Copies of this chain bind each other. A is one copy, B any other.
Amino acid sequence: MASVLCVGIATLDYVYAVPELPSQGTKYRATDLEVVGGGIAANAAVAVARLGGKASLLTRLGDDVTGQAIRAGLAADAVDLALSRAIGGCRSPVSAIMVDQAGERMIISYSDPAMPTEPDWLPQALSAETGAVLGDTRWEEGSLRLFRKARAAGIPAVLDGDRKPSDPGLLAAATHVAFSEVGLAEQTGLSDPRDALLSLGSGKAWLAVTAGERGVWMIDKGEVSHSPAFAVDVVDTLGAGDVWHGAFALALAEHQSERQAVRFASAAAAIKCTRFGGRKGAPTRTEVEQFLRERT
Residue positions of A touching B, CB distance < 8 A: 14, 16, 18, 21-30, 32-33, 35, 65, 69, 91, 94, 96, 98, 100, 104-112
9 A-B residue pairings within 8 Å (CB atoms): A14-B96, A22-B108, A26-B106, A30-B109, A33-B94, A33-B112, A96-B96, A96-B98, A98-B108
Closest B residue to A103 by beta carbon equals B25
CB distance from A213 to the nearest CB of B (A): 16
Partner of A28, one of B18, B26, B100, B108: B108
Please state the number of chain copies in the assembly.
2
CA distance A24 to B105 in the complex (A): 8
Closest B residue to A22 by beta carbon equals B106
CB distance from A221 to the nearest CB of B (A): 33
**Chain B residues in 8 Å Cβ range of A32:** 110
**Chain B residues in 8 Å Cβ range of A29:** 108-111
CB distance from A10 to the nearest CB of B (A): 16
With a 10 A CB-CB cut-off, give which of A24, A28, A106, A108 has the most chain B CB atoms: A108
Partner of A106, one of B28, B35, B110, B112: B28
**Chain B residues in 8 Å Cβ range of A16:** 96, 108, 110
With a 10 A CB-CB cut-off, give which of A23, A32, A96 has the most chain B CB atoms: A96
Q: Is the CB of A22 within 8 A of B22?
A: yes
Closest B residue to A33 by beta carbon equals B110
**Chain B residues in 8 Å Cβ range of A94:** 14, 33
Q: Is the CB of A25 within 8 A of B21?
A: yes
**Chain B residues in 8 Å Cβ range of A98:** 96, 108
CA distance A98 to B28 in the complex (A): 12
CA distance A94 to B18 in the complex (A): 14
CB distance from A178 to the nearest CB of B (A): 18
Partner of A30, one of B21, B23, B108: B108
Q: Is the CB of A107 within 8 A of B28?
A: yes
CA distance A109 to B96 in the complex (A): 11
Q: Is the CB of B27 within 8 A of A109?
A: yes
**Chain B residues in 8 Å Cβ range of A105:** 25
Closest B residue to A162 by beta carbon equals B27
Closest B residue to A18 by beta carbon equals B108
**Chain B residues in 8 Å Cβ range of A25:** 21, 100, 104-106
What 6 A-B pairs have minimum CB-CB distances, sorted nearest first?
Answer: A96-B96, A25-B104, A30-B110, A33-B110, A23-B23, A27-B107
**Chain B residues in 8 Å Cβ range of A26:** 106-107
**Chain B residues in 8 Å Cβ range of A18:** 108
CA distance A105 to B296 in the complex (A): 51
CA distance A28 to B105 in the complex (A): 11
CB distance from A138 to the nearest CB of B (A): 10
